[in-house]
Amino acid sequence: MANIVFNIAKGRVTELYSRVKGNDPANSAFILVPIETAGLEADSVLIDADTLTALLAGTTNEQTTMGRKVLTDADLAVVPAPDDTNNWYELSLPTVTWALATGNPISKIAVCYDADTTGGTDANIVPLTMFDFVQTPSGGDIQMTGGAFYRAA
């Protein structure tokens, strides 16, 4: 579950998930960005980032050796109905594997929205949520088990 929902994404995560799942626009996707442990700023600072560029502008670093994972409509589960019993709306991510992962240790995964994966820059990518995911790459596979990453209550 998300440790933070970025201010820019509050009230929009479900909408953007639905857009990716609906392939609207055609090249839209969720981008999973591993965030290094070294230099990681406090959630209270990062929550204000409106773009991936802004998220990485301070001392917070992307772990580029592992690389980003792109999730398209084919990767995402069907958009669920609201859970009227528990009075929330919950979205999940699939299980993702970084094969033969190396590089610096990570502490978090940022889940971002890219409206057009064929063009643009990090300035066009919107951070949605970020959650703890502490790993030390050692050349083996790192698997992020699928499950809820966002809940609107």
Which residue, among 74, 36, 37, 41, has the nearest Cα to 58 in the 3D structure?
41
Contacts of 3 (CB under 8 A, 6+ apart): 43, 108, 129, 130, 131, 132
Per-residue pLDDT at 120 exceeds 90: no
Q: With beta carbons less than 8 A apart as the criterion, state whether 36 and 135 touch.
A: no
82-118 pLDDT tens trace? 999 999 999 999 999 999 999 999 999 999 999 999 9
